[in-house]
Amino acid sequence: MLFTIDKESLLNRIRTVEKITVQRGIQPVLSNILFETEGNNLKLSATDLDISITTKTTASVQEEGKITLPAKKIFEIVSKLPDKPIEFALNTDNNIVTIKCGNSKFDVIGISAEEFPNVIQNQNEISDDEAIVIDTNPLIKSIKYTVYAAATYQNRNVISGVYCQINEDNLEMAATDGNRLTRISEKIQNEKHKDAKIVIPSKTVNEFLRVSSIISEDKVYLIVSGSKIIIKTNSYTIISKLLEGQYPQYQQLIPKTTANTVKVNKNELSNAIDRVACMINERTNVIKFILQNGKMYLKSETPDSGTSEDVIETDYTGDEFKISFNYKFISDFIKIIDCENAIIGLNGNQSAAIFRPDNDDDYICLVMPLKN
């Protein structure tokens, strides 16, 4: 293997894949990135056995070959090199790659490509004809607006994923951890009119968000094959297992009507929560919300430190109404929405409240209240 490549384009690609390598695992090769030449391209791949990522970029290839190199070390070396062409030369006798750039030279000990798991190679077996082709932006938005409500990945339960339903012209996503639920519905151009109902691990969709922020692409190809999903763009491919099991019938949980609807300025609510949380009880995370005469009072207390209180304007005119929430659930919702006002639909202080932005009817965040 012998090729020359630009610093920036290589660094960019290493950044795409290195995060999912497994440092200090049982299999040393999983802490490495697979470098492969393919015509005039350099292909980089990494896997943690749950997710695999491959990315391609052009390089000046003089001699074909492949090798795995330690991800963190290679990232560190390339990031410190001057902005000049970098030459990679593999000595197949000892798996050592000599990296030359300007006055710098490194001999890096690799691990044979034969030891790298072949999860990546499977992608060639699946035809693009099977793909659902959609625009990247609605997919990114839908993930961002839902994934934060998913259960933690630790248990690998079906609710640690994001539910994703694709119809002819619609993408619906939902996530829940049992105490809150997010749901979004976005119009899409589903070019081949293919359908899907899948649960993608939150780790996988977060990886897709991360990679998308490094390499932006207009179109994304989703290919469901058995218990796997392949998320493909022009320059990278993510392969992940899907989560199996019955996803909760969340539609039933969303109230059709709400007894009261309250409007508050999003930034005022955000600042008030932030301040009141200074005195949060870290065991319960509870903030009490009291609605009365056009005001929303927020209160918090923690036994050893003291109490906090803030007040903001609302359009509420009914009787005094008290409800308590885990403030983190509301903060997560506020952080993600992009609007002037938040609308809160209420059905009594033991029923789920519906939070939504005032400029988007197709997104809701349902939050269960805590006992007062």
* Interaction site with a copy of itself (CB under 8 A): 70, 73, 76-77, 80-82, 96, 103-109, 271-272, 274-276, 278-279, 304-312
**52 or 341: CB nearest a copy of itself:** 341
**119 or 264: CB nearest a copy of itself:** 264
- Min CB(95)–a copy of itself separation in Å: 10
- Min CB(281)–a copy of itself separation in Å: 13
Dist. CA 7–CA 82, nearest whole Å: 8
Question: How far does Cα 146 stand from its chain's mean position?
Answer: 9
**238 or 276: CB nearest a copy of itself:** 276
The pairs formed by 302-306 with CB atoms below 8 angstroms and a separation of 24 or more are 305/279, 306/279
**69 or 198: CB nearest a copy of itself:** 69
**106 or 153: CB nearest a copy of itself:** 106
**159 or 276: CB nearest a copy of itself:** 276
Taking a C-beta distance cutoff of 8 angstroms, is the pair 256, 306 a contact?
no
- b/e per residue 97-135 (b: at least 16 CB within 10 A): bebbbeeeebebebbebeebeebbeebeebeeeebbbbb
- Min CB(72)–a copy of itself separation in Å: 10
36: CB partners within 8 A, 6+ apart: 42, 43, 44, 45, 65, 66, 113
- Min CB(108)–a copy of itself separation in Å: 4
Dist. CA 358–CA 306, nearest whole Å: 35
- Min CB(28)–a copy of itself separation in Å: 10
- Min CB(276)–a copy of itself separation in Å: 8
- b/e per residue 40-54 (b: at least 16 CB within 10 A): eebbbbbbbebbbbb
